[in-house]
Amino acid sequence: MIYSLKFYLKIALRNLVVHKARMMLALLGILFAVMSLVAFGNISSGMKRKIDDEIGRFGKNLVILRASLVFQAGRATKQFSESRTLKLSDIKRIKESLQGIDEIAPYYDATYPARYEDKTLRVSVIGVTDNIFSIKNTNLLMGRYFTKDDDRTTEKKVVVGYKVYDNLFDLKDPIGKYILLFSVPTEIIGVMEEKGTDLTGQDQDIIVYIPLNTFMRRYSNIDYIKGAYIQAQDGAPLNEMKARLRVFVRKIHNMKTSEKDDFSVFTMEDILKTREEGIRLVTVLTIIASTVSFLIGGLGIFAIMLLSVSERKMEIGIRRVVGSKKRDIVLQFLTESVIVALIGGAFGVAVGFVITIIVDYFGGFPIMFGLQNIFISLFISMIVGILAGIYPAIQGTKYEPVKALYS
């Protein structure tokens, strides 16, 4: 080999500058392919990190029991409503009979208007026992939680989410003040730290927690609940807990084998699987789109290199006359095709980073950059450059020096 790598690179870069318009078209396909791989790889990593963080904030080892929608015969306008078969006595029996349960917090929720002076906000009101705060890893910004005694004596006291505090009180101290909750004066005793939206899509900052018995007796006048948060002991298999819970609830509801469940049981991992399936589907589509883009980019480089070889017959002839071997010609054109592919890959990485920052910022995901995605994308770009340049490079060696000089 009579030429150094530096020489090949110099000739390749000079050719890129001379024919920059056509080379830009050739590398666009590679740019889009690398951009999609890098951007989605980073974004999906951020999404998975956010999901993991949300599971931790929502509470660990949680199994959620929830009343299901059931058909109500005789209703003309609304044929489906939530089952009313879950009772506080059911929750007590579950706690006493099923092993592996650490805590269980029955709840009833509804959407009510909350008003303070001239400001009104629709909030999600959750009547629940006091252990919900430890189960869901809730931290206070100010004030205190309600207690078992507050629940037992049906005190009209609430702990509100951050957005309730912000919207109704403009971030001024609300402790001891009263809001009208469904027209009932209710004292604020605590404000929760900002938490954001959980995996179920519920905004945790627009929630108002109230003692369960207070909500059932003094606000809603009902004798049933909508569900329970069940915290399993560390190490307890959640799938097994779900199965045992389902069997037990069917038993205490005296349900026949042919009857459908009037309740549902799920874990945060079930929601996570749904999210991951969505991410997996988008991943497959991204890979397909990237593969197509790589093929288009490779064909573009292939066509440009064939054209370049045809236009540079004179250069090839002169180099062969002064002693260049066929492998030197092959290496020259392979270097040029690889350089084009790598430049396209480098621009693709840069654009992918920009897209990652924009999507993560507006989507509320943690910004993550994976070096593995960059290396894989650039490696594939290099392989595409080599494959696209092999045939044109070989074609360049078929020109006889004399014919090339006089063609």
| Residue 153 token pair | 């004596």
pLDDT given for residue 44 in this prediction: 80
pLDDT given for residue 92 in this prediction: 92
What string of H, E and C letters represents the secondary structure of the chain? CCCCHHHHHHHHHHHHHHCHHHHHHHHHHHHHHHHHHHHHHHHHHHHHHHHHHHHHHHCCCEEEEEECEEECCCCCCCCEEECCCCCHHHHHHHHHHCCCEEEEEEEEEEEEEEEECCEEEEEEEEEECCCHHHHCCCCEEEECCCCHHHHHCCCCEEEECHHHHHHHHCCCCCCCCEEEECCEEEEEEEEECCCCECCCCCEHHHEEEEEHHHHHHHHHCCCCCCEEEEEECCCCCHHHHHHHHHHHHHHHCCCCCCCCCCEEEEEHHHHHHHHHHHHHHHHHHHHHHHHHHHHHHHHHHHHHHHHHHHHCHHHHHHHHHCCCCHHHHHHHHHHHHHHHHHHHHHHHHHHHHHHHHHHHHHHCCCCCCCHHHHHHHHHHHHHHHHHHHHHHHHHHCCCCHHHHHHC
Report, as an integer, the average pLDDT of 291-307.
Answer: 83
pLDDT given for residue 402 in this prediction: 53
146-160, 192-206, 207-221, 270-284: segment of lowest average pLDDT: 270-284
19-33, 279-293, 319-333, 372-386: segment of lowest average pLDDT: 319-333
Q: Which residues contact 365 (CB under 8 A, 6 or more apart)?
A: 43, 46, 47, 49, 50, 359
pLDDT given for residue 1 in this prediction: 46
- Give the number of residues written for the chain: 407
pLDDT given for residue 88 in this prediction: 93
Asked whether the predicted pLDDT for residue 201 surpasses 50, the reply is yes
The number of C-alpha atoms within 13 Å of 382 and in the hemisphere containing its C-beta is 6
Report, as an integer, the average pLDDT of 197-213.
Answer: 83
Q: Which residues contact 231 (CB under 8 A, 6 or more apart)?
A: 59, 60, 61, 62, 63, 101, 102, 103, 104, 135
Kindly list the domain boundaries of the chain, sorted by start residue. 5-54+273-406, 69-261
Report, as an integer, the average pLDDT of 191-206.
Answer: 79
Report, as an integer, the average pLDDT of 250-276.
Answer: 81
Report, as an integer, the average pLDDT of 283-300.
Answer: 83
pLDDT given for residue 47 in this prediction: 76
pLDDT bin (cut points 50, 70, 90) of residue 56 is low
CB 251 within 8 A of CB 94: no
Of the segments 80-94, 217-231, 296-310, 385-399, which one has the largest average pLDDT value?
217-231
pLDDT given for residue 276 in this prediction: 67
Mean pLDDT of the chain: 82
pLDDT given for residue 403 in this prediction: 55
Residue 327 or residue 375, greater confidence? 375
pLDDT bin (cut points 50, 70, 90) of residue 54 is low
Nearest to 301 by CA among 390, 389, 394, 397: 389
Percentage above 90 pLDDT, the chain? 29
Residue 91 or residue 43, greater confidence? 91
pLDDT given for residue 216 in this prediction: 93
Other beta carbons within 10 angstroms of residue 139's beta carbon come to 10
Angle of the 268-311 helix axis to the 326-363 helix axis, nearest 10: 150
Nearest to 31 by CA among 389, 298, 248: 298
44-48, 86-90, 160-164: segment of lowest average pLDDT: 44-48
The whole-model pTM stands at: 0.62
pLDDT bin (cut points 50, 70, 90) of residue 79 is low
